[in-house]
Each structure stands twice: as C-alpha cells, then as structure tokens.
Homo-oligomer: A and B are copies of this chain.
Amino acid sequence: MAREFEPDIPDIVIRRLPLYVRTLRALADSDVANVSSDDLADEIGVTAAQIRRDLSYFGKFGKQGKGYDTRSLEQAITQILQLDREWPVALAGFGSLGHAIAHYRGFGPSSFRIAAIFDRNPDKVGEPLGEIAILSDQCMTSEIRRLGIEIGIIAVPAAEAQEVANAMIDGGVQSILNYAPIVLKTPPNVRVREIDPIWALQTMTYYLGVGS
C-alpha cells in the first residue's frame, strides 16, 4: 500500500524533514558529532519540542543526556525521505526558465537528475543538453512511462501548464514541481509544490512601508 494514504504522519512534518537533513549534514561536515534537540532547534529556528515531536513519528534516534549523533540522524532521515537513491526527473518547457533549471547547479549534489526534457517545439529550442535529447511534448506520456519517471518539473507558460501536468500524470508522475503561476488540478495521489518568486514577494509587501 502506497504511503500517500499513511494516515498518521502530518504532511507538515514531512516538509520539515529536509531542513533537518540539510542542517545535520552541515553540522556533521563541520565535525560536530553530536547535537541536542536544543542546539539543533537554535540552528534551524524552530523549537526543540517540535524537533523531538517530529522525530517521534518515526522512532527513537537520540540518547538521554547526550542528544543525537549528527551523522546517523542525518542518514536515518535521509532514508525516511527516500533520498538515499537517485530520482530521474522530467522537465517540461525548455525556454529560458527551462534552460536555467536544466543548468541549475543545485541538482548536481542532490538526489535528483534530469533524465528527460520536453518542449512543444523541440526543433526551435536549439542544442540538446549534454546527452539528453529535447523531445516533443507528444512523447511525454510514453517516454515518462518508459523511463519510470515519477517526478516532473513544469516550466511552461501558465496557459499550457495544466495540459502538461495531465500528460505527466498519465505517464505515472506523482510529484510535480510547478513553476507556472497557476493552480494545477490534480488527483489526490499527486502532490504539487509551487515555485513562484513573484508570489513569494507578493506575500511580503503587506508588511512593508508605513512605520519602520
């Protein structure tokens, strides 16, 4: 049975776990072998109680009086998140945004690898990227299914985003990173996260100006 329907771990807890991994990795890389939930909380900017509560959903990872072994807690959470493997990702849209994503250096050291790129006009977008051909949108569903891809990135204009999402989902995608400024309609087993810098800025202007 798929974990989408795991009832008792709140999504908001899952969303914090990558932050723990990142922070623990930085600590371990700085040769900090142990942390208490208090120290970790300070580092991250949350409360120690929240960290302990979050971890308790998954097991016992610490030692009373001692705290957590940074490296092994990092590895434990990495496993929980299934980040101890490489995930092939499909990128739709190879305009300027798609190019920037494809060349984004952050993917290198991560668990994600762009394994297929699609564009409505594959001829017009110029060079393929390294070994990855740019394919037509029409191949999307079948190619995603062929490669067993479960993660898609949408970098097409808003007007085309829903159609692209549908094609990805038909191919088996269950996680979508959406750069288009539109709310995608998706079935309940598909998760979408938004990347929208303008939106993010718009949530902060409310607080600006006036006094200071």
Interface on A for B, CB 8 Å cutoff?
1-4, 14-15, 17-19, 21-23, 43-45, 80-83, 87, 89, 96-97, 100-101, 103-107, 110-112, 150-151, 153, 172, 174-175, 177, 181, 183, 185, 191, 193, 195, 197-212
B195–A175 CB distance below 8 A: no
Number of copies: 2
CA distance A103 to B199 in the complex (A): 17
* Closest chain B residue to A107, Cβ basis: B198
CA distance A12 to B209 in the complex (A): 20
CA distance A51 to B203 in the complex (A): 16
Q: Which residues of B contact A87 (CB under 8 A)?
A: 201, 205, 208
Most buried by B among A14, A181, A193, A204: A204
A14–B100 CB distance below 8 A: no
B112–A198 CB distance below 8 A: yes
Q: Which residues of B contact A198 (CB under 8 A)?
A: 106-107, 110, 112
B104–A206 CB distance below 8 A: no
Known contacts A21-B202, A206-B14; A197/B195 CB under 8 A: yes
A201–B151 CB distance below 8 A: yes
A212–B96 CB distance below 8 A: no
* Closest chain B residue to A200, Cβ basis: B193
Q: Which residues of B contact A151 (CB under 8 A)?
A: 201, 204-205, 208
A177–B201 CB distance below 8 A: yes
